[in-house]
Amino acid sequence: MKVLVTGSTGFIGGNVVKKLIENGFEVNVLIRKKSNTLNINKLPVNIYYGDICDINSLIEPMKGCGGLFHAAAFYSFWSADPEIFYQINVVGTKNIIETACRQGIEKIIYTSSESTLKSNQYEINDPGSVWGDYKKSKVLAEIEVMKMIDKKIPIVIINPTTPIGSGDIKPTPTGKIVLDYLNKKMPAYVDTGLNIIDVEDVATGHIKAFRKGRIGKRYILGNKNLTLKQIFEILEKITKINAPKIEIPLGLAKFCAYIDEFISGKILKKHPTIPLAAVQTACKYRFFDCSNDTGELGIDLTPVEVSFEKAVRWFMENGYVKN
């Protein structure tokens, strides 16, 4: 079967493309002309240039496709132009799914985020209750997707927790934690927690959801809950770089983020070193029990220590580490 993948040059999307090819799919990819294609270089894919914000560029890549994997998103804790989050993550999502529906696509896998969910895991957040334009835009996008599901559009939602592994070219905010650690830019830590999963397991989950996932269902894909301190302890064992021993109170981190975002973001129009949305997010542990969903899809989960080893090795092999 031929399928279309958006976001194929990104972290999750690039791994989805690789897994699709391994599983015998023919893959069309929709990319922008200025995209960094490191994640799909040398892969046997059919490349189409376009943009999910441009409806006219979406029809040709879908011709002959039986499935759509929509993994494209703008993922950052800050942007000089906040509107970009809503154009790509909300409007772009509506564009691609509505076009897929008109083209008769049999099944759509939509990549959402754990940040859209409340602590009970299966109830979606109110857009006004989350911090930062990225999270708000993903909540709004998932609300739109749920409306489309109500209209009988064949969509399965995937909510990855925090993926770690190879191919984090941007890198994502979580990948930047690993990269900053490798470059010895992590002198301290805050009291927060994340659920970690190997990005290849997330990609496998997408394929399994396409093959046997229930239409209209949300699958939360995650593996192990870890505090940030525990993450640094794992990285210390892998890299032999000493983990930070100082814990910064979240109140102090928040104060520093306000100052940094005002000076760097508002005045200098540069990405803040400490984005306020990242600190606000850290104020709550984002722990999940994903065993029902990963079990239903039949995903053999990779130990998180191995996932961090993959991330470290990939960053080092691809010139991200200064020393």
pLDDT at residue 82, as a whole number: 84
Number of C-beta neighbours around residue 312 at 10 A: 21
Domain boundaries, the chain: 2-166+197-222+288-301
What is the fold of 2-166+197-222+288-301? Rossmann fold (3.40.50)
Per residue in 3-40, pLDDT (tens digit) is 999 999 999 999 999 999 999 999 999 999 999 999 99
Q: Which candidate, 297, 317, 299, places its Cα nearest to that of 309?
A: 317
Q: Alpha-carbon distance 38 to 53, whole Å?
A: 23
Report the mean per-residue pLDDT for the chain: 90
- How do 155-160 and 188-189 pair as beta strands? unpaired
Q: Which candidate, 188, 179, 183, 219, places its Cα nearest to that of 314?
A: 179
Would you say the pTM of this structure is higher than 0.85? yes
**What Cα–Cα distance (Å) separates residue 98 from each residue in 16, 136, 145, 209?**
22, 21, 10, 20
Per residue in 216-270, pLDDT (tens digit) is 999 999 999 999 999 999 999 999 999 999 887 766 665 565 565 556 656 656 6
Per residue in 165-218, pLDDT (tens digit) is 999 999 998 899 999 999 998 888 888 899 999 999 999 999 999 999 999 999
Which residue did the predictor score with more confidence, 289 or 282? 289
pLDDT at residue 239, as a whole number: 96
Q: Alpha-carbon distance 227 to 287, whole Å?
A: 9
Per residue in 35-94, pLDDT (tens digit) is 999 999 999 999 999 999 999 999 999 999 999 999 999 887 657 778 999 999 999 999
